[in-house]
Copies of this chain bind each other. A is one copy, B any other.
Amino acid sequence: MTSFAPLHNDTFLRACLGQATEHTPVWLMRQAGRYLPEYCATRARAGSFMGLATNVQYATEVTLQPLERYPLDAAILFSDILTVPDAMGLGLSFAQGEGPKFAQVVRDEAAVARLAVPDMDRLRYVFDAVTSIRKALNGRVPLIGFSGSPFTLACYMVEGGGSDDYRHVKTLMYARPDLMHRLLTVNADAVAQYLNAQIDAGAQAVMVFDSWGGVLADGAFQTFSLAYTARVLGQLKRTGADGQVVPRIVFTKGGGLWLSDMAALDCDVLGLDWTVNLGTARRMLTQIAQNATTLIAAGACPASAGGQNDATSRHPKALQGNIDPNVLFAPPEAIRAEVRRVLDSFGRPHSDPAVPGSTHIFNLGHGISQHTPPEHVAHLVDEVHRHSRLLRARSA
């Protein structure tokens, strides 16, 4: 077993677990990416996107690049969400200037029948990158591993790439729900193995990106996305090789309407996009946690044996998000004002070190745009730290 350096900045991990922190931790979805010239330089050396993602040295390099520029509170593995279906043999490629494409699409009974959880050895390059990055971080900030959700992977597998209308995946879902359930079961079990292997390799938190769950109808979301995210979570290791708890984050873009359903997931953090009011979401989750506590106290349902983070835990799930990435195109003062607005909308920070409470991890509501001026990001990160300390000073 690899041993890693002790963690210097655990603000992010503590906030994930509902613990009070000195400032609101911040990281950015897709923080290692095309808006950074140094990323583009590495990618040019790698020759292609998959050349970048499959090379441990390059993946390590680009993961650390944003940390050199900004005092971010977490790093996230540089990889692609489609590595798992690629390992299933569907043939992933990225045409220049276009999105991902699969050589084979999964739209009929025979194609679904051929699917199986891939040998994790085919994803060894990802796990090696996790270990390499964790070493290179040297305890600076925690490393987040991730995967696409079973439904989000299914979208790409059935559509064969990106989509405007999700016509093929929804046709399969409405016409042959049996095939869709089989496909999602394979995906969920593959994602669980994939995340567990990342945890073993050194990931200190894991995030499930349900990027496309929000395109589903009410009812279909619960049946075809949420249930399979839950199936993933049910199989995940609770601690890493170092014995530390590994927090789990679930983010459904466009999932704000289903927050009360998501509150029942066995995870620590829910990611929110910019359409959701953080204060409203916080009150709802706090109410749900209080109701659960009351039921436990009344003996109506058992307190959970399995850790502190399931649906019956006594503190609300942490919230992660949710500024619109397009704010980063405004001038610095406008960016700072919007950062304050988002922090203020969450409200008074949890500040009691004795008990876990309702916490916030600052992030974008979706990945950063490739057109973002890098110097603008510095203003965002600085204002999160500055204003969130001020809010704590005011609360004290």
Contact = CB atoms under 8 A, between A and B. Distances in A.
Q: How many copies does the complex hold?
A: 2
A371 interface: yes
Nearest to A177: B334
Contact of A220 (B174, B324, B334): B324
B167 A369 contact: yes
B329 A171 contact: yes
A338 B167 CA distance: 16
A203 to B, nearest CB: 29
A174 B165 CA distance: 29
B174 A334 contact: yes
A165 B276 contact: no
Interface in A271-290: 274-277
A166 B256 CA distance: 20
A195 to B, nearest CB: 27
Contacts of A323: 217
A154 to B, nearest CB: 14
Interface residues of A, number: 36
B170 A329 contact: yes
A218 B275 contact: yes
Contact of A369 (B165, B221, B334): B165
Interface string A216-243: 1111110000000000000000000000
26 contacts: A165-B369, A166-B326, A167-B329, A167-B369, A170-B326, A170-B327, A171-B330, A174-B327, A174-B330, A175-B331, A175-B334, A214-B275, A217-B322, A217-B365, A218-B275, A218-B276, A218-B345, A219-B277, A219-B345, A220-B324, A221-B275, A254-B254, A254-B275, A256-B257, A257-B276, A257-B277
Interface of A: 165-167, 170-171, 174-175, 214, 216-221, 254, 256-257, 274-277, 322-324, 326-327, 329-331, 334, 338, 341, 345, 365, 369, 371
Given A175-B330, A218-B274, A218-B276, 17 more contacts: A165-B326, A167-B329, A171-B326, A171-B329, A171-B330, A174-B324, A174-B326, A174-B329, A174-B330, A175-B329, A175-B331, A216-B275, A217-B324, A218-B275, A218-B277, A219-B341, A257-B257
